[in-house]
């Protein structure tokens, strides 16, 4: 099945049904398909060829629907960029991937000159916002109007569909190559287990569409057909208003979103009875929060998805598991059809049931590799298994329990933060002698990025100065929310910082 098959199916079965809603703008399937084919022609006219990468730096909107499908329609790779990154991080991804064409909306148009300077290979900027088109950029609507539709090449198989950059343990992001076959396999398995997207349903897209979790929800709804409602930013009121106005049937949240919506003082004044499916993931959820969410949306089926950019959805905790409750609510669920998971010990062989080791997986859902990084690819995919870097164990019924993240990754508010990236930024401060970054418990964010810093003799610095310095180099959500100053860091006999001891000191926070 090719990447754009869902568009052709929808055009055949429901050409006049609303396919996208963004603010007051509603477009039918017929209109979307026409615009997709014209945008594909425009990209070709700009010199984009098969397998070229085309970037998008924009808040959620109906332009995402057209952008993804237009790239696949003419054979290019969709490269959505993290809107929370700093200009330096965005430019790195553009340069590393060789992206020459970038679409930007009003929120990021002002970055155009800086990105051109930082990423010399970026030769074309397309403005897809509602305001005036800045000088030196092409107008999105004018491009679509200027080109006639072109035939769909029906890209699929092992061709790369998405290039998604994720944080790196070495301090630089890695481009994950997600293939058509990979995402199709993930979606089919997830839909079989969760029925998270209802045929003809209305899916609210509020999680950012540069994340694999949001993208899988978006793609699943397109596969079964229906309407997608796009929200550029998450606020509880806008979510509740959209649910009531459009009769939203399903959505994807990270736990902090669930908590914020359910705890809003005006929650009860909105009609949320249309919601039938809520998928959540990106961070662990306390059982008390899940119980609250199930009380707020009693008519909805809840499913939790666990995975990573390299694997898409790997395991699912079904609605039936949520209803049964108990210790299973603290698990990540079981492998979905089409995936094989195991837990390996340090020797690369499976450990006994209940024993902790590294979570590994294999199957067609696994990435093709890291863009331009063959050595890192070989390391991650050694022995034919994708090594997730997560520590966990399997119980006697095949439920996966995650107990730690072996790569020292922090998940804060659904965003992945690698400690090495933050430590690299902090270490460049002239007053920092050494530092360690860990995740500590946080009632709102799930985890909080916390820095433990040793200052150079004779220097001074405040926590706010350290945070401000970090924000000049990395995204704001990666900067430490809290900083503590110590005389020394705990070290192993080999001279490695014992982050375990630092985490233990904050375990009761």
The number of beta carbons lying within 10 Å of the beta carbon of residue 28 is 18
Tell me the per-residue pLDDT of 47-103, one tens digit each, with 9 for 90 and over. Answer: 999 999 999 999 999 999 999 999 999 999 999 999 989 999 999 999 999 999 999
pLDDT at 492: 61
CB 438 within 8 A of CB 450: yes
Question: What is the structure's pLDDT at 286?
Answer: 65
Classify residue 469 by its DSSP letter.
H
pLDDT value of position 171: 61
Q: C-alpha angle with apex 208: 206 to 213, nearest 5 degrees?
A: 95
| Residue 477, helix vs strand vs coil | helix
Residue 41: the pLDDT is: 98
Query: Encoding tokens for residue 378?
Result: 């070989």
Q: What is the pLDDT of residue 161?
A: 96
User: What is the three-class DSSP state of 198?
Assistant: coil
DSSP character string of 61-112: SHHHHHHHHHHHHHTPEEEE--TTS-HHHHHHHHHHHT--EEEE-TTTGGGH
Residue partners of 366: CB distance under 8 A and separation at least 6: 182, 310, 311, 381, 386
Positions in the chain whose pLDDT score sits under 50 = none
Bridge partner residues of 94 (DSSP): none
Q: pLDDT tens digits, residue range 176-232?
A: 999 999 888 887 777 777 776 889 999 999 999 999 989 988 999 999 999 999 999
Query: Rounded to whole angstroms, how far apart are CA atoms 221 and 224?
Result: 5
Positive/negative CA dihedral, 185, 188, 191, 192: negative
Any residues with CB less than 8 A from the CB of 326 and at least 6 apart, and which? none
The pTM score is: 0.86
Q: To 10 degrees, the CA torsion angle through 317, 323, 328, 332?
A: 20
pLDDT at residue 291, rounded to an integer? 83
Give all domains of the chain, ordered by start, each with its CATH number.
5-302 (3.40.50.12780), 303-405 (2.30.38.10), 409-505 (3.30.300.30)
Closest CA to 365 of 415, 309, 303: 309
Both tokens of residue 255? Answer: 């736990």
């Amino acid at each position: 099945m090719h990447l754009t098959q869902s568009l052709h199916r929808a055009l055949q079965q429901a050409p006049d049904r609303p396919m996208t809603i963004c603010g007051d703008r509603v477009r039918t399937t017929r209109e979307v398909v026409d615009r997709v084919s014209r945008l594909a022609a425009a990209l070709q006219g700009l010199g984009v060829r098969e397998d070229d990468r085309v970037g998008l730096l924009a808040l959620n909107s109906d332009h995402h629907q057209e952008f993804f499908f237009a790239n696949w329609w003419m054979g290019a790779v969709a490269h959505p960029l993290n809107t929370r990154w700093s200009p330096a991080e965005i430019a790195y991804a553009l340069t590393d991937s060789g992206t020459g064409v970038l679409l930007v909306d009003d929120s990021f148009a002002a970055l155009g000159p800086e990105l051109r300077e930082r990423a010399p290979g970026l030769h074309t900027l397309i403005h897809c916002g509602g305001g005036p088109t800045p000088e030196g950029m092409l107008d999105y609507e004018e491009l679509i109007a200027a080109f006639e539709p072109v035939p769909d090449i029906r890209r699929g198989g092992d061709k790369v569909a998405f290039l998604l950059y994720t944080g790196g343990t070495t301090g630089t992001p890695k481009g994950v190559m997600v293939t058509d076959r990979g995402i199709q396999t993930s979606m089919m398995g997830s839909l079989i287990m969760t029925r998270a997207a209802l045929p003809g349903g209305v899916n609210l897209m509020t999680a950012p569409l540069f994340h694999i979790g949001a993208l899988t929800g978006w793609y699943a709804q397109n596969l079964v057909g229906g309407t997608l409602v796009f929200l550029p930013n998450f606020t509880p009121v806008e979510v509740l208003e959209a649910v009531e106005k459009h009769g939203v049937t399903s959505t994807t949240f990270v736990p902090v979103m669930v908590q914020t919506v359910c705890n809003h003082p005006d929650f009860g004044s909105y009609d949320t009875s249309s919601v039938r499916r809520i998928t959540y993931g990106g961070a662990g959820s306390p059982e008390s929060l899940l119980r609250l969410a199930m009380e707020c949306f009693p008519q909805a089926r809840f499913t939790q998805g666990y995975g990573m950019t390299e694997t898409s959805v790997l395991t699912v905790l079904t609605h039936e598991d949520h209803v049964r409750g108990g210790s299973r609510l603290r698990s990540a669920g079981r492998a979905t059809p089409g995936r094989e998971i195991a837990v390996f010990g340090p020797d690369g062989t499976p450990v006994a049931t209940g024993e902790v080791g590294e979570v590994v997986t294999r199957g067609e859902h696994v990435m093709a590799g890291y863009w331009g990084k063959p050595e890192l690819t070989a390391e991650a995919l050694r022995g034919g298994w994708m090594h997730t870097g997560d520590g966990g164990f399997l119980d006697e019924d095949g439920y996966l329990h995650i107990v730690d993240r072996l790569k020292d990754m922090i998940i804060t508010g659904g965003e992945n933060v690698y400690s090495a990236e933050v430590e690299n930024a902090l270490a460049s401060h002239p007053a920092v002698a050494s530092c360690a970054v860990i995740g500590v418990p946080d009632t709102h964010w799930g985890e909080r990025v916390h820095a433990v810093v040793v200052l150079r003799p004779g220097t001074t610095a405040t926590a706010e100065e350290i945070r401000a310095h970090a924000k000049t180099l990395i995204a704001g959500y990666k900067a430490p929310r809290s900083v503590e100053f110590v005389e020394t860091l705990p070290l192993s006999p080999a001279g490695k910082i014992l982050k375990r001891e630092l985490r233990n000191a904050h375990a009761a926070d």
